[in-house]
């Protein structure tokens, strides 16, 4: 395996997903991307992670007061009985329950998303990297409250050596083989518009032949 984390690939055996603070109160302030697209991307990432059987850690902060519950679209796709960790710390990594649950996955490559990008996703990703984990952030499954926050958040992530990508690329990298039995279900979960269109075109040609 290459020595540099930037040359190593995500796999089903080395990756886990950490979804931080996808709560209604925080979503109400998102301004750097469309809410429908953001919700779509978060839900699609969560669904694909389940298809690929990736350990997934879900957190909220001040769910009973300041920031409210998880957005319903996300809650609907979580496996029944998912234990969501509600905390008070700004940085999810600083909550011992979150830290211990991530450590218990045994995975060294962590994919983070969060609302907001520069706090909920970036701060634990940077903290994890400082402890020797390889941190990734799916920027299109994270949102924040201004374009400036988004731009400076991404710069800070890159300065800290966190790998930034998009939700679909990370999951397809983990899928690795389009001949895998889970490939069709993975792409269905990702719900990429162009891929759906290609499938429709292919199906139409198949009916004609």
Cα–Cα distance between 151 and 164 in angstroms, integer?
Answer: 12
Euclidean distance between the first and the last CA atom of the chain, given in angstroms as a whole number: 45
Q: Taking CA 37 as the corner, what is the angle to CA 33 and CA 43, rounded to the nearest 5 degrees?
A: 125
In the residue annotation, 120 being an active-site residue is answered as: yes
Contact 124/17 with Cβ under 8 angstroms?
Answer: no
Q: Tell me which of 26, 120, 126, 171 is the catalytic residue.
A: 120
* Contact yes or no for 153/27 (Cβ under 8 A): no
Distances (CA, A) of 17 to 148, 196, 200: 26, 25, 30
Alpha helices in the chain (DSSP H): 24-27, 35-51, 72-77, 96-104, 122-130, 147-159, 167-175, 183-190, 193-208
**CA 16/CA 23 separation, integer angstroms:** 21
Q: Which residues are catalytic?
A: 120
């Amino acid at each position: 395996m290459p020595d540099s984390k930037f040359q190593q690939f995500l796999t089903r055996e080395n990756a886990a997903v950490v979804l931080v603070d996808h709560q209604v109160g925080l979503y109400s302030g998102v301004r750097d991307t469309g809410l429908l697209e953001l919700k779509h991307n978060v839900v699609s990432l969560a669904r694909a992670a389940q298809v690929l059987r990736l350990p997934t850690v879900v957190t909220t902060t001040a769910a009973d007061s300041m920031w409210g519950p998880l957005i319903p679209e996300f809650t609907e796709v979580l496996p029944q009985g998912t234990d969501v960790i509600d905390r008070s710390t700004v940085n999810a990594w600083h909550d011992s329950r979150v830290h211990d649950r991530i450590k218990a996955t045994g995975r060294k490559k962590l994919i983070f998303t969060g609302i907001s990008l520069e706090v909920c996703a970036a701060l634990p990703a940077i903290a994890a990297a400082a402890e020797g984990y390889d941190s990734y952030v799916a920027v299109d499954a994270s949102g924040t409250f201004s374009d400036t926050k988004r731009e400076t958040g991404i710069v800070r992530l890159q300065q800290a050596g966190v790998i930034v990508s998009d939700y679909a690329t990370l999951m397809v990298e983990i899928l690795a083989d389009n001949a895998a039995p889970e490939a069709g279900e993975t792409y269905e979960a990702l719900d990429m518009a162009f891929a759906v269109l290609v499938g429709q075109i292919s199906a139409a040609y198949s009916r004609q032949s």
